[in-house]
A and B are shown apart, each in its own frame.
Chain A
Amino acid sequence: MMSDQAIHKIPIDKRDPKKIFAVVAIIFAMLIFAVIYLKISFIEMFMGLPSFVLFFFEKFFPPSTANLKQYIPEVINTLGYAVISTYISTIIAFIFGILISKNTNKFITLRVITRGFVNVLRNIPFIIWGALLVYIFGVGGIVGILALILVTIGFLSKSYAEAIDEISEESLEALRANGASYLQILFHGIIPQFVPAWIHWTLFAFEINVRSSVVLGLVGAGGIGVLIDTNINLFKYGEAITIVAVVVAIVLLTELITNLIRKRFVN
């Protein structure tokens, strides 16, 4: 029998309040540690915010459109790097994707090795790959494309593998009952069902590659980013912001096109 007192104590939450409190406290502690360790003063930042915004607009505006035409070759370079690297990566990533997915590769050792290799490619940030490859191979467009390819393979292989994993095993079961060979099941069963995901991820990779190839120049591998850096170093801020605007235009345009393609083909 519940007493009147007990009725008031009906909890509406089953979770352990002490645990939640502990977790939140730890997170707070880590944040405060970070602030102290980095020697960042938030108060200074807050107070400095208006002057930073003013300063920023003063320096970088008005944009100077004098040399607009000179940027065109670099724009083409940027887009071209993205196109080439996406094309090459998609083929290689598809093969890796098949090797990583349980649906298509029954040999667990091979799966684990491929996944490990792909993880190494994925986990190293793109620009570090760029720096490393320039270190090894020297500067140049090809090196930049190579860096893009490595990173994109890392990203796409995992995404492709996850998409292949999601293909229903039942439809593949039917093909097995029909007596189809492994390759036939791959081409008639897996690939048709994989196409929408393939389009989605490949377009996504292309968008990322356009952004990445903008900054490739910062490690000496070409791309419009190099112009931004040079102009800033020469204190030509107006020019720099114009180029940034050009970059924004390219990226937004790319997004627009990829969205259109998506709507058209992934019905």
Chain B
Amino acid sequence: MEHIRVTSKGSISKAIFLILILAAIFIAAVKLIDLDISKFFERLKNVSEVLKRMMAVDFSVVPDTLLNIVTSLALALLALGVAIILALILSFLIASNITPNRSLAIFIKGFFAIIRSVPSLVWGLMVIASLGFGNVSGFVTILIFAVSYLVKTFTGSIEETGGDVIEAMRSTGASWAKIVYHGLLPLCITAFVSWITICFESNVAESIGLGIIGVGGIGLLLTQAISSYDYAQTTTIVIMICLLMIVLELVMTRIKNRIKFGKQ
């Protein structure tokens, strides 16, 4: 009885090889890191205590929180506004299918790749070291994040969908500016709006996260509550952050859908 195989030759051994490599990576990672597992399990005993104490809510901190939410939102919005302007200009200059100068485009793309590979909290540290604490540092840090994100996504959209339109308009003799304004902008605007809404949500998340290193806003408030071991306040602020992000997501989705399917 001759054996009939169900898979092509060699694909089983390839699959096994792959699994072994993946397992090896995982095991290597676990062995190489210093994980203090024993300490962790020791502290687990205290966890139920802490969680019990966190079950309280402190409403007195709500007005402060709301003010700080406005701060965080304002920072996010402002950074978004400036980032949109900068990104629109830059991305149409560096998209490979429409760039007026190839080498400059590559240089700028590389520049932004490096900017993006530095996590924003690290940028935050450096900006605060240079500019001091205050809203300006927060604004600049979020701006760096937002511009690099939008430039990447805008350029991606232009390069993916712009090809045909550019070809067509070039054959009518349109200039760079005209192709951008009359051809690419209307074409990409829905994709851009998607990216912008995602960017705003991310900006708010960043602005909250930056509170850890001292940037004003609700993140800072939370950090302060945590360092003063005020359990009730911490819980309240966390809940409000959660609510804020959920509301934000709902609003952004609505705006996105409105623009996609036409204003009613």
Binding site for B on A (CB under 8 A): 15-16, 19, 27, 30-31, 33-35, 37-40, 45, 52, 55-56, 59-60, 73, 76-77, 79-81, 83-84, 87, 119-120, 123-128, 131-132, 135-138, 140-143, 145, 211-212, 214-215, 218-219, 222, 225, 228-229, 232, 237, 240-241, 244, 247-248, 251-252, 255
Contact = CB atoms under 8 A, between A and B. Distances in A.
A contact patch SS: helix
B contact patch SS: helix
A252 B117 contact: yes
A215 B121 contact: yes
Contacts of A128: 208-209, 219, 222, 238, 241
26 contacts: A19-B263, A30-B77, A34-B78, A38-B75, A52-B130, A59-B130, A77-B34, A80-B29, A84-B29, A84-B30, A123-B242, A125-B205, A125-B208, A128-B219, A132-B226, A136-B51, A138-B46, A142-B40, A212-B119, A232-B125, A240-B126, A241-B126, A247-B119, A248-B117, A251-B117, A252-B113
Contacts of A222: 34
Given A79-B29, A84-B29, A142-B37, A136 B129 contact: no
Interface in B33-55: 33-37, 39-40, 43-44, 46-47, 50-51, 54
A219 B212 contact: yes
A119 B246 contact: yes
B212 A127 contact: yes
B197 interface: no
Contact of A123 (B43, B46, B249): B249
Contact of B43 (A125, A138, A214, A219): A138
B185 interface: no
Contacts of B34: 73, 77, 141, 222
Given A38-B135, A141-B33, 9 more contacts: A31-B81, A40-B78, A40-B136, A77-B34, A119-B246, A135-B226, A142-B36, A143-B40, A232-B129
Interface core residue of A33, A38, A79 (most chain B CB under 10 Å)? A38
A251 B78 CA distance: 28
Contacts of B187: none
B213 interface: yes
Given A136-B50, A142-B40, A131 B223 contact: yes
Interface of B: 25-26, 29-30, 32-37, 39-40, 43-44, 46-47, 50-51, 54, 70-71, 74-75, 77-78, 81, 113-114, 116-119, 121-122, 125-126, 129-131, 135-136, 139, 205-206, 208-209, 212-213, 219, 222-223, 226, 234, 238, 241-242, 245-246, 249, 263
A35 B82 CA distance: 12
Given A218-B212, A218-B213, A80 B32 contact: yes
Contacts of B223: 131
Contacts of B51: 136
Contacts of B74: 33-34, 37-38
B37 A124 contact: no
Contacts of B208: 125, 128
Given A45-B136, A119-B246, A137-B40, A247 B122 contact: yes
A247 B117 contact: yes
Contact of A126 (B50, B129, B209): B209
A255 to B, nearest CB: 7
Contacts of A138: 39-40, 43, 46
A229 B245 CA distance: 28
A225 B47 contact: no
B122 A228 contact: yes
Contacts of A59: 129-130
A19 B262 CA distance: 12
